Amino acid sequence: MDMIKIAALGIAGILTSLLVKEWKPQFSVLISIATCIMIFFCAITRIQSMAGLLSELNQAVVLKESYLQILLKIVGISYIADFASNICKEAGYAAVAGQIELSGKISVLAVSTPIVLALLNTISEYLR
């Protein structure tokens, strides 16, 4: 049901933006960005419920708590970078969008380094 509300919000925002674009193009971009922000906040509630599910999964499968935190950080970085990049593209700033995407990828790499190192250590122990 939430997805229907989000889809309706998106369609209403785009139609409003298209109607306003003829008279005030600068407001069209603002309406589009406002629509994106509203949809993002609707999606955040879903992400919070998924965090609870991941916590339950962590209890069922023995993992270090830090690995779960890293996983959540990676998901957060990915969503925020994608969201910001899409807004910049919508506003016509593709170069800025590309830099946001690059920064997001570098951030994910930096945050995931402990997991990669632990995986390499595990593989090297089995190869000995």
One pLDDT digit (tens) per residue for the chain, 128 residues: 577 888 888 889 888 988 898 888 888 888 988 998 888 888 777 777 777 777 777 677 666 777 778 888 898 899 889 988 988 888 788 999 999 999 999 999 999 998 888 889 889 888 87
Q: Last residue of some domain: 41, 61, 81? A: 61
Residues 69 and 25 in one domain: no
H or E, element range at 22: none
Tell me, yes or no, whether 27 and 57 share the same domain.
Answer: yes
Whether residue 56 is found in the same domain as residue 68? no
Q: Using CA atoms in the order 103, 6, 9, 79, what is the torsion angle rounded to 10 degrees?
A: 0
User: By residue range, what is the domain housing residue 35?
Assistant: 1-61
**Cα radius of gyration rounded to whole Å, the chain:** 20
Distance CA 115, CA 113 (A): 5
User: What is the structure's pLDDT at 67?
Assistant: 79
pTM of this prediction?
0.68
Q: In degrees to the nearest 10, what's the CA dihedral of 21, 26, 28, 32?
A: 160
Q: Is residue 55 located within the same domain as residue 4?
A: yes
Confidence at residue 100, expressed as pLDDT on a 0 to 100 scale: 93
Q: Tokens in use for 125?
A: 């122990």
Q: What pLDDT was estimated at residue 62?
A: 66
Which two tokens mark 62? 């023995």
- How many domains does the structure of the chain reveal? 2
54, 81: one domain: no
Task: Determine the pLDDT at residue 58.
Answer: 67
Residues 1 and 56 in one domain: yes
